[in-house]
Structure 1
């Protein structure tokens, strides 16, 4: 009887110990599982916080690259983000310990949002000012080009207006009598004088002073009469019969010169008047 009671008590103790052991093992498993889940959550939230901080830093990098007027403020705030990144990377603990870093991030992010919004507004204003400046520059350039065109046109007009106008170039053949009187003739064998005349028209804007002209008389056989001297103007060489000078004072003046000669050929003669290398008048006459 005593033996049976002893066995029953032993069995009861074993059952109780077994229950306690199972409970202890279950508790230990739960604790292990909870710790593992907590560690995973900590790592996940830490990684997310670092990702958010790196994103904020990238936003500052982009804003600073714009080289706006807020560059120094942006660099100061970026430094705060970089410092917080370093602190989070070194941090060890649980999810609750991350909260202070999260709070710091939320505060910095709020400041970042405000600063980036201000920077974006400043950027838009600068772009608008750039467009206005470029438009003004274009308008000024167009005005300058227009003025340059007007100046060039006025210079051309002035240059054209200041040129002398030669009119009434004539060439006549004469026979000089012993008395000195000139008698007009068109018979080649009688001619010994050619009278060349031309008129310089009045021009108030033309330059006054001595004006030199080259007269070229060419006979029917293409010979240049008179002095047959040459003058070079750049690449152009002129052979002329004689040079005549006129004192010009902006008023109409007539110039007359006599070219003496003998043995004049029959046929068509050409008389050309040059202002340097520019042909300014010409005439023809015929001797028979």
Structure 2
């Protein structure tokens, strides 16, 4: 009878212990599951925070590329995010440290939001200034083109006026004559009889030209390339002119007939060349032949 009671008590104890063991195992399993769930949640939140940090850094990169006056401030705040991201990656991932990282990130994000708004305002100002500058540059370019056109037209007009104002020398002729003692002149085609070369030419009418005294240098060259007459020289810049005589004409914008005699002696036959210069510029030429 006592043995039966003892066995019953033992069985009761075993049942109780079994129940306690099962309860403990269930509790331990639950705790393990809860810990794993909590750890997975922390890791998930850590990954999410890391992604947000990476996105914020990329946003800073884009803002810095705008090259506004806030570039240095943006760069400094970006470095803070990079440092926070490095510390997050090294952390063990417990709830307390993750909460601290979140708070730090939120604080830095508030600063980032403020800087981004300010940077956006500066971008708009820069865009407006660029548009204004481009408009101003366009106006300046248009004005420059108009000015260049006017300068070109003025230059062309000045050249046209200068060209139009030049006097034209026409009908250049030279005749050899024999001077009689009576003063009478007789044309001759023989060099040995000639003692005067009569040069004549016409200055055409020009209303644009400036009136006043006009000086021409007449050059007569014989067949041996000798300059007849005075044989004086005049320098015009880097040019030197040897001439036979100078003729000054009073010009009043009307046609003028000019004649001038050049005394000669002992000239030889051949072809003679007559040139008229306005300073260093050749304005008319002809030739004649004497036997």
Q: TM-score range by the shorter chain?
A: 0.7 to 0.9
Structure 1 segment 272-287 matched on structure 2, within 5 A? 272-287=275-290
Asked if 1:238 corresponds to 2:238, the answer is: no
Q: Distance in 2 between matches of 1:254 and 1:140?
A: 50
**How far did 1:54 drift?**
4.2
Work out whether residues 217 and 244 of structure 2, in 8 Å CA contact, stay in contact via their aligned partners in 1. Answer: yes
Deviations 1:37-88 (A, max 9, x none): 32343243234334324433442443354345xx55x987887887788788
Moved more, 92-101 or 142-151: 92-101
Q: Distance in 2 between matches of 1:167 and 1:136?
A: 52
Aligned to 2:267: 264
Question: How many residues get paired?
Answer: 285
Moved more, 75-84 or 118-127: 75-84
Work out whether residues 57 and 78 of structure 1, in 8 Å CA contact, stay in contact via their aligned partners in 2. Answer: no
Work out whether residues 200 and 252 of structure 1, in 8 Å CA contact, stay in contact via their aligned partners in 2. Answer: yes
Structure 1 segment 164-179 matched on structure 2, within 5 A? 164-179=167-182
SS of equivalent to 2:249? strand
Q: Distance in 1 between matches of 2:16 and 2:219?
A: 148
Structure 2, gaps ≥5 residues long: none
**How far did 1:274 drift?**
1.1
Work out whether residues 215 and 242 of structure 1, in 8 Å CA contact, stay in contact via their aligned partners in 2. Answer: yes
TM-score (norm 1): 0.76
Work out whether residues 49 and 102 of structure 2, in 8 Å CA contact, stay in contact via their aligned partners in 1. Answer: no
Select which of 167, 190, 198 maps to 1:187.
Answer: 190
Q: Distance in 1 between matches of 2:17 and 2:2?
A: 23
Deviations 1:163-200 (A, max 9, x none): 22222322122111113332322222211001222233
Q: Distance in 2 between matches of 1:140 and 1:44?
A: 65
Work out whether residues 226 and 261 of structure 1, in 8 Å CA contact, stay in contact via their aligned partners in 2. Answer: yes
Work out whether residues 50 and 85 of structure 1, in 8 Å CA contact, stay in contact via their aligned partners in 2. Answer: no
Q: What is the aligned-residue RMSD (CA, Å)?
A: 3.8
Aligned to 1:11: 11
Deviations 1:231-263 (A, max 9, x none): 444554433222333344544444332211112
Q: Distance in 2 between matches of 1:205 and 1:62?
A: 70
Compared CA separation, residues 40 and 231, structure 1 to 2 (3 A): farther
Select which of 145, 154, 162 maps to 1:142.
Answer: 145
TM-score (norm 2): 0.75
Aligned to 2:52: 52
Moved more, 160-169 or 27-36: 27-36
Work out whether residues 64 and 74 of structure 2, in 8 Å CA contact, stay in contact via their aligned partners in 1. Answer: no
Compared CA separation, residues 80 and 35, structure 1 to 2 (3 A): farther
